[in-house]
Chain A
Amino acid sequence: MGKNKLFSGVFILAFVLLIGFSTFALAEPLKVAVIFPQPITSEGWTKSGYDGLMKAKEDFDIEISYQENVSAGEIKEALRGYAAEGYDLIIVHEMDYIEPTIEVAEEYPDIMFAVIYGYESADNVAVVSGTNWEANCLAGAVAGLMTKTNKVGFMISHDSPIAHEFLNAAFIYGARKINPEVEVITTFVGSWDDTVKGKELAKALVKEGVDVIYSQCGVINRAVLQVCEESGIWAIGAVEDMSYLAPQTVIASAIAPTEYLVYGAIKDMINGTLKGGNVIKGIKDGAEDIVFNPSLKDKLPENGEEKIMELRQEIIEGNITIEQIREELTKQNVKF
């Protein structure tokens, strides 16, 4: 028993000392934190957010921190942790976490929060979104343009309402717009990590006669790229310009440059323009776009680039909306 008491005594003493020794800094640069739902090594979407943070760290005088792989059950804890630690701007890199963010933001009215993609906002919660569909629509158009077999594949990591009503609808619409004969095969890998399954899925698509694949599956994209390379079919890159990974295979990429979203939110915060509310940034703001692989431009069919650019222009001018797309597809009896 005596030992037990001694033990706890020492522990408490050590503890008090620890707290005592911890000191506060006085003047501090802006403190920015980002919370990611996936590990930062999950390439594509998460990596682009991470890169945005790193770029901001280089460009501005800020102190940064991030927490990765934060599940829905842990999001409030991560938010409160950062709030307690005196961060000025806390960015959440996941739209599913909008409600817990608003809840915690109410507790800390002096701190600014930003959610990347989202549909609600609050006084101190800024929602910074891409459109979720514009670049996908153009990716679909490129797929429709390039296919000779009239079969194109779209790979998504997880099944979700967003996947159907935004990503897939826009992709199918774009593809059919350029090539009414095209058949889009949309598939879900069911995992963020399983590169093996992703690769097999891509192989099966190729076997089925698909000759263009657009994959939006984080780290799995690379495995898909490899299949495309080996089977000599076209690939469309996602999030970043992927032509450097497979110069002879990636015909174009639907990009979401890191300067927007995370980086943009930080920049706005520094300029004092980040406000509560919902801001959707699309192609016209430069937040997403389609880029062609310059070394493969001669492989495009005649007037191909012009056709894509025409569609792009229509999107920029607001002549096409996602609601219209869904309506039209439903009218044509196309499932998405």
Chain B
Amino acid sequence: MEDGSIRIKQERYNKVFITIIPFGAFFIALFLGAVLIFLAGINPWEAYNYMLYSIFGNLRLFSEVFTHFVPLIFCALSFAVAFKGGFFNVGQEGQLYFGALTGALVGIYIQGLPAFIHIPLALLAGFIGGAFWCWIAGILKIKLGADEILNTIMLSYLSILLINFIVMYFLKPANSYISQSEKIARSAYFPKIIPNTQINLGVILALLIAIIVYIFLFRSPAGYEVRAIGENLEAANHAGINIIKGTMTVIIISGGLSGLAGTSIVMGTQYRLIPALSPGYGFEGIGAAVMARNNPLGIILTTFLFAFLRVGAGAMQRGVGVPLPISWAIEGIIMILVTASEYLSNKISANLIGGRA
């Protein structure tokens, strides 16, 4: 009895540790970033101080965190779902653009619908667009065994160029000099939850979907099958799980989530399709997912940090003149350290499982 309770306590401590480790890595990265800021001749304390103060000191600026948060969380969830199912989808960026295209088309060309129909319809279109682009990669993998990490990246580049082309040559209004589509119908705008801020329906949607993804992965039979495939393909096959069906489910959900990232930018921030829609949400989302160890609930927290840092990079530039490249370098250090810190987490969790056995 005594022994058992110690073990449970130990397990609980370990779990806390595993959660904290990536955040430790995050803060060490901020510290290393401080060294760079110092090299630029700026007081790092002042810079970080300014970042926190300016963002938390102003509701409107704070709400800008959510313009990044929403697409980032969809990208991170997209990676996490696929990862859990053993499919390395790293083409979030391209799927995002494709979802933005299909969502925007429904937003622009279907007019006169009430918002409660138009919004879900546009979201559905975005989901389908993203899912379709990911499905191509999936087919290449399933039918031809082509490595998905590489083909999702190739498809990403293709998608970005394709959307750029479509906007400039087909969606641009004839009398406009700017390469962008027309605005979507008002009925497809995400309604604002707090007026005069960027906190709109997208935020609630993102949080809701994060929870749904969590329930799907960890509380549903289908999710169990998906995870079984991801953990051990042969064992899953042996247990009679339909591998193709499971993998396809994951591919569709993952691509669809990325598509929603694009649609949410169109419906929540830009209200139109533009060629430079995403400043790299795809890759950042992957970073956030890895930092949360692909747990959808953890992803809520880590994407918030990444989104915060994005707004923070701008704030530090505006307020204290921290050169932009330093913010990129800090982001890179975060990714490197978070990846490296996986080792510690893995070691502890290996002990954890070892303890159970």
Which residues of chain A in 68-96 are interfacial with respect to chain B, using CB atoms and an 8 Å cutoff? Answer: 68-74, 76-78, 80-85, 95-96
Q: Does B278 contact A82, Cβ atoms closer than 8 Å?
A: no
Are A73 and B314 in touch, CB under 8 angstroms? no
- Shortest Cβ distance from residue B140 to the other chain A in the assembled complex, whole angstroms: 27
User: What string of 1s and 0s marks CB contacts (under 8 Å) between A119-152 and chain B?
Assistant: 1000000000000000000000000000000000
List of A residues within 8 angstroms of B172 by Cβ? 161
CA distance A161 to B311 in the complex (A): 31
Q: Chain B residue with minimal CB distance to A97?
A: B178
The A contact surface, by secondary structure, is helix
In the complex, chain A residues whose CB is within 8 Å of the CB of B38:
none
Interface size of A as a range: 35 or more
User: Residue of A at shortest CB range from B54?
Assistant: A85
Task: Evaluate contact between B314 and A18: CB separation under 8 angstroms.
Answer: no
Given A22-B53, A76-B269, A84-B54: A39 in contact with B324 (beta carbons within 8 A)? yes
B269 with A18: CB separation less than 8 A:
no
- A77-B64 contact given A65-B321, A162-B177, CB 8 Å threshold: yes
A3 and B52 within 8 A (CB): no
B61, B265, B270: the one contacting A84 at CB < 8 Å is B61
- B274 neighbours in A (Cβ, 8 Å): 72
Compute how far the CA of A103 lies from the CA of B271 in the bound complex, rounded to whole angstroms. 12
Contact A85 B319 (CB under 8 A): yes
The residues of B that contact A39 with a CB separation of less than 8 Å are: 324
Residues B315 and A81 in contact, CB atoms below 8 Å apart? yes
State in angstroms the CA–CA spacing of A39 and B324 once bound together: 8
- If A15-B52, A18-B53 touch, does A73 touch B277 (CB 8 Å cutoff)? yes
Interface size on B, residues (CB 8 A): 41
Given known A65-B321, A161-B172, contact A22–B265 (CB-CB < 8 A):
no
Per-position binary interface string of chain B over residues 169-203, scored 1 when its CB falls under 8 Å from any chain A CB and 0 otherwise: 00010001111100000000000000010100000
A12 to B249, CA, bound (A): 42
State the total of A-B contacts with C-beta under 8 angstroms: 104
Q: A73 contacts B52, CB within 8 Å?
A: no
In Å, the complex CA distance between A1 and B180 comes to: 51
Task: Kindly provide the distance from the CB of A222 to the nearest chain B CB, expressed in whole angstroms.
Answer: 20
Give bound CA distance, A33 to B16, whole Å. 44
Contact among A19, A33, A71 with B318 in the assembled complex (CB-CB below 8 Å): A33
Verify if B293 is at the interface (C-beta below 8 Å from A): no
Decide if B168 touches A159 in the complex (CB within 8 Å): yes
Q: Are B16 and A65 in contact (CB under 8 A)?
A: no
Q: How far is the CB of A230 from chain B (nearest CB, A)?
A: 31
Q: Across the interface, do A22 and B178 meet the contact criterion of CB distance under 8 Å?
A: no
B14 to chain A, nearest CB (A): 12
Q: Does B149 count as interface, using CB distance less than 8 angstroms?
A: no
Tell me which residues across on chain A come within 8 A of B60, comparing CB atoms: 80, 83-84, 107
B64 & A96 in contact (Cβ 8 Å cutoff) = no
A4 to B18, CA, bound (A): 12
Task: Name B residues whose Cβ lies closer than 8 Å to a Cβ of A.
Answer: 12, 16, 20, 49-50, 52-54, 56-58, 60-61, 64, 67, 168, 172, 176-180, 196, 198, 265, 269-270, 274, 276-279, 310-311, 314-315, 317-319, 321, 324
By a beta-carbon cutoff of 8 Å, the part of chain A in contact with chain B is: 1, 3-4, 7, 15, 18-19, 21-22, 33, 39, 65-74, 76-78, 80-85, 95-96, 107, 119, 159-162, 165-166
**Known contacts A65-B318, A76-B67, A81-B315; can you find 7 more A-B pairs with CB under 8 A?**
A68-B324, A72-B274, A72-B276, A76-B269, A80-B61, A85-B54, A161-B168
